[in-house]
Amino acid sequence: MRVEDRPREGAARPFKASLDAWSRAVKLAGGVGFGLKQLPRSDKLLGPGGGRGKWIAADCWPDCGSKGYNKAYVEDGVVVRMGTDDNIEDSWNRPQLRACARGQSLRLWLLGADRLKYPMKRKNWEPGGGQKELRGKDEWVRISWDEALDILAGELKRVKETYGNRAILANFVGTITARFLGAYGGFTEQWGGHSLGTWMNAIFFTGYEMQWSDRFDMVETKLFLLWGTNPVWSQAGLPAYTYWEAKKRGARFIAIDPFYNPTYEMLTDEWIPIRPGTDHTMLLGMMHTLVVEDDPSTNPLIDWDFMHRCTVGFDRDHMPEGVDSSENFVDYLLGKDDGQPKDAEWASEICGVPPERIRWLARELAKERDAVLCTSGGVARVDNADSLPQAFITLAAMTGHIGRAHSQLALAHHFGTNGGPQLVQGQNSRSYSNSHLRAPPVLNPLASNTMAGGLVVLPTPGCINIYEINSAVLNEQYTEVDGAKTPIDLRMIYHAHGSRVNQIPNTLEAIKAHRKVEFVVTQNMFMNADAIYSDLVLPVTSRWEREGNVCIGYREQLLWHSKVMEPYFECKDDLWIGVQLAKRLGVDPTIVEPWSWGQEIFNQVADARVMQDDGKTLEPLVTITEEDLAHFGFEGEPQVGRIPIREFQEKGIYHIPREPGDNHSFVYLEAFRNDPERHPTHSQSGKLEIHCQALADVVNNLGWAKIRPIPSYNPPLEGYEATFSDWPARIKGEYPLQIYNVHMPRNAHTFFDNATVMRELFPHEFIMNPADAEARGIANGDTVLVRSPWGKILRTTWVTPLVMPGVCVLGQGARVDLDEETGIDHGGCANVLKGGTLTGGGHSGFNSVIAQVEKWTGAPLRPDLDRGAIIPLPGERM
């Protein structure tokens, strides 16, 4: 059945079957079309070509994890066509690195009418703020770069002299502009991560880093548990290819997820629906099953050898020194401390999975030696889920799926299904220890000497948690690493990266915060949500308009992207902006730009190394001659490598050849499993810590939640239990539904959401189960009002049995389009519905959303394609 022929409308009859029977029925029915509107092949995507131009390797930098390779066909300086990897013949041993739909839309996205073209200021702005309440509503005035930079330099100087550098709140993760502000005395920085949820803290403290084994090892696996993953949408490319190859070789796939997504339609033999934020309970129910049913003689389910040698905290006999033996995990599972065994019946009440299915899955995982338990950051993006990663680690350890060939616990992230040391090694960012250039880092003196603009993911003195920045502006205090509420007076917000108003929980609170401070500036390619609520916007170049970039693909590729086109209209490089500000404010410009960017790219290519066939020795990737040095005009030395440097530049990609049984195989934690004393983990004990005091200390010191050192369950602040006004009596409350926040094929966070072709190809629908829709009088295609304790949005519905009852699915990354009169967002921004609740170790809780849905009685919502992208012209209001 073709995608466009599949029925998209859910059944109108009440759906009263059990969740287990219902999930099996959906699987047997063959699924549906997942909201993909197929269009005929046309010049909209490919352009006319013509043969007069040149193919150029083109960067694809949005943070989606696909790692695709793009190339642009340029005629007379204009990109007219897009291509992808055809440098090698495609095969499993050496697969092409193909671009996804997002990457192939880059040309239309970057050259769209809504690119910011010149600097603009808000009409009613004046030093000190002016009419701040008009941010997001005011008219815009086109100005010159000199005027824009003078305004920005003047405001930086005024705020610093009046309130001090700490009054400047900057969103700079990894940007060059941060070097300037670090040299100018510093700024208030942020800490915390998005994508990995609570996995980030677990990775630092428990001893498990969530690496993958090599893909040649992966395809020999016999059983895959895909727990909340969807690489077909979020990591298009090699991850799904690896799974498909394993499927062809006979592997079974079982999915555990609230949503039967395209990856599962392609792969799975079983689908087990589970409520969002309740995964921890199911894991506990599975582990309880293993503990009570294990018999080493007649029914071996637990790998006791590994548990004894390689873990601490599981049972009374293997506790850390000085810890009460009653604090062990087995006693918690059996309910010896609280009287409640964490059995399958207890778990089923919360997670919605029938108890017999919980026990069945536990046995299946324990009895299959060659099994992979694959989860994602999305499962851990839940309030109070700080101990969830420990539960995954413990289950994998108990069943013996750590450190063995064809068997592992893995996190579906950017390099999913292909782990191991990089076989083609190059720098994927500016290098501060490059052999040709040794530029010292610029520190931020106000953030405990962190590198200015660096990625700070753990609690750091002087930094504000990323989910507290809006309340810190409004309430003039933030939480220090010891939990103390610390006063702060933030007067200026400087955005030079991302889209924080849109992508941080509680978008409505973010708008209020932006209307409070005295000055807001955004430098971006588009008029995103940050820019809309700014006083000054600066148009910046994309990577296509800069001197290039060197980055890794998966472990077997290195990519070299070149400049594709000249800067669009009056767009300028962030580096140039930082240098100009330095000159205006008395900072040495060489601190901001201590090198030529072109020279830096050349250095990175010259330094690139490739693994030889022995799997041990690295050799230079490129050959450089005196003629090459003259051609490029950069400093360097001749060298002999594997391919000529100009051939590498022209192709833009190098693939290392692979063969089954070669010397590049890798099994994560194999050496640790074989000899934990000689090859310890990075945890304090050197083992996998099922009892991890370091993790508990970090979380508990912040004061937002209290956790035990063992992986005990804490109900999410807005999880399934919160949909009830009286949980013990099972009485539903004002917000009886849960919203599952997922990555969509249309966009990578906010990237591409404003691309017309992507809006046309992939609708942004609100997905409901037929039972929930019918109970509310909602039919497929109706406009609905979705409200949570934090905000309201309008969306068009897609009614389908592919999402479990009681759960709705909403894609993340859609741009906020707020109706100021009603307070309702027409853009479908997920963070309008999610509060800025501080939780646990400071992680994201995007899947902790409770809501109510009603049929909208007003005018139907216009399709996103008809609403278009936001681009105010000078003299126009937002």
How many angstroms separate the CA atoms of 162 and 166, rounded?
11
Angle at 606 between CA 604 and CA 611, to 5 degrees: 95
Q: Which of 350, 313, 311, 318 is nearest to 332 (CA)?
A: 313
822 touches 754 (CB < 8 A):
no
pLDDT category at 876 given cuts 50, 70, 90 is low
- What pLDDT, on the 0 to 100 scale, is given for residue 154? 97
pLDDT in tens, 421-440: 999 987 543 333 333 334 57
What's the mean pLDDT when you consider all of the chain? Answer: 90
Cα–Cα–Cα angle for 18, 21, 27, nearest 5°? 140
The crossing angle, in degrees rounded to 10, of helices 355-367 and 344-351 is 120
Half-sphere exposure for 593 (CA within 13 Å, toward CB): 16
Tell me, what's the pLDDT at 875? 61
Which element (helix H / strand E) includes 606? helix 597-607
Query: Residue 459 above 70 pLDDT?
Result: yes
Q: In the chain, helix, strand, coil percent, each to 5?
A: 30, 20, 50
Note the pLDDT tens digit of each residue in 251-303: 999 999 999 999 999 999 999 999 999 999 999 999 999 999 999 999 999 99
Q: Are 355 and 302 in contact (CB under 8 A)?
A: no
Position 868 scores a pLDDT of: 61
Three-state secondary structure readout of 648-708:
HHHHCEEECCCCCCCCCCCCCCHHHHHCCCCCCCCCCCCCEECCCHHHHHHHHHHCCCCCC
Tokens 């063969």, located at residue: 659
C-beta separation of 45 from 757 below 8 A: yes
Residue 789 φ/ψ, nearest 5 degrees = -60, -10
Note the pLDDT of residue 480.
Answer: 96
pLDDT recorded at residue 796:
97
Is the model's pLDDT at 471 over the cut of 70?
yes
Give tens-digit pLDDT for 693-730: 999 999 999 999 999 999 999 999 999 999 999 999 99
Q: Are 869 and 756 in contact (CB under 8 A)?
A: yes
User: Are 492 and 159 in contact, with CB atoms under 8 Å apart?
Assistant: yes
* Residue-wise pLDDT tens digits, 541-555: 999 999 988 988 889
Q: Which amino acid is at 349?
A: E
Q: Dihedral, CA atoms, 655, 660, 664, 667, nearest 10 degrees?
A: 120
Are 864 and 222 a contacting pair, CB within 8 Å?
no
Query: Quick check: 111 pLDDT over 50?
Result: yes
Predicted local distance difference test score (pLDDT) of residue 871: 58
- Structure pTM? 0.92
Residue 414 is predicted with a pLDDT of 73
Looking at the DSSP bridge assignments, the partners of residue 644 are 623
CA gap 191, 177 in Å, rounded: 18
DSSP 541-598: --GGGSS-EEEE-STTEEEEE---SPPPTT-B-HHHHHHHHHHHHT--HHHH--S-HH
Residue range 227-245, pLDDT digits in tens? 999 999 988 888 889 999 9
Q: Phi and psi at residue 524, in whole multiples of 5°?
A: -160, 170
* Per-domain boundaries in the chain: 43-110, 120-195+440-594, 206-420+668-702, 715-867
- 47 has pLDDT over 70: no
pLDDT of res. 170: 92
Distance CA 158, CA 383 (A): 39
User: What average pLDDT does the segment 675-687 reach?
Assistant: 97
Query: 715-867 adopts what CATH topology?
Result: Barwin-like endoglucanases (2.40.40)
Question: Shortest CA distance to 716 belongs to which of 279, 96, 184?
Answer: 279
pLDDT at 865: 85
- Predicted confidence (pLDDT) per residue in 795-820, tens digit: 999 999 999 999 999 999 999 999 99
pLDDT over 90 at 646, yes or no: yes
CA gap 679, 666 in Å, rounded = 15
Q: Which long-range CB contacts under 8 A does 120-129 form with residues at least 24 apart? A: 120/536, 120/537, 120/872, 120/874, 121/147, 121/148, 121/151, 121/535, 121/536, 121/537, 122/534, 122/535, 122/536, 125/535, 125/536, 127/154, 127/155, 127/158, 128/518, 129/517, 129/518, 129/519, 129/535
Q: Does domain 206-420+668-702 have CATH number 3.40.228.10?
A: yes
278 contacts: CB under 8 Å, gap ≥ 6: 350, 351, 352, 719, 720
Q: Calculate mean pLDDT across residues 634-654.
A: 96
User: Which CATH code for domain 120-195+440-594?
Assistant: 3.40.50.740
pLDDT at 749 over 80: yes
CA-closest candidate to residue 557, choices 441, 668, 654, 469: 654
| pLDDT, mean of residues 162-172 | 93
Residues 341-391: tens digit of each pLDDT: 999 999 999 999 999 999 999 999 999 999 999 999 999 999 999 999 999
Rounded percentage of the chain residues whose pLDDT exceeds 70: 91
State the Cα–Cα distance between residues 752 and 730, nearest whole angstrom. Answer: 42
pLDDT given at position 446: 92
Tokens of 362: 């536990």
β-strand partners of 537: 120, 522
Distance CA 141, CA 119 (A): 9
Packing angle, helices 279-293 and 388-398, rounded to 10: 30
User: If residue 282 lies in a helix (H) or strand (E), which one and from where to where?
Assistant: helix 279-293
| Predicted local distance difference test score (pLDDT) of residue 600 | 86
Question: Is pLDDT above 70 for 306?
Answer: yes
C-alpha span between 802 and 348 (Å, rounded): 20
Indicate the SS3 state at residue 856: coil
Reduce the secondary structure of 86-130 to three states and give it as a string. CCCCCCCCCCCCCCCHHHHCHHHHHCCCCECCCCEEECCCCCCCC
Q: Quick: pLDDT tens for 775-800.
A: 999 999 999 999 999 999 999 999 99
499 vs 492: CA distance, rounded Å = 16
pLDDT of 146? 98
Distance CA 224, CA 231 (A): 14
Q: What does the pLDDT average to over 142-167? A: 98
pLDDT exceeds 90 at position 18: no
- Report the C-alpha gap between 50 and 18 in whole angstroms: 58
Taking alpha carbons only, the member of 228, 218, 230 closest to residue 263 is 230
Of residues 92, 28, 102, the one with CA closest to residue 265: 28
Cβ pair 145, 119 in contact under 8 A: yes
As beta bridge partners, residue 639 has 624
CA distances from 540 to 49, 118, 834 (A): 28, 9, 30
For 460-483, give the DSSP string. -TT-EETTTHHHHHHHSEEE-TTS
In 487-546, alpha helices (H)? 500-503, 507-514, 529-532
* 588/575 Cα distance (integer angstroms): 14
Adjacency order of strands within the sheet including 519-524: 140-142, 120-122, 536-539, 519-524, 492-495, 168-171
Could you give the CA distance from residue 876 to residue 878 in angstroms, rounded to a whole number? 7
Cα–Cα distance for residue pair 463/279, rounded to 1 Å:
31
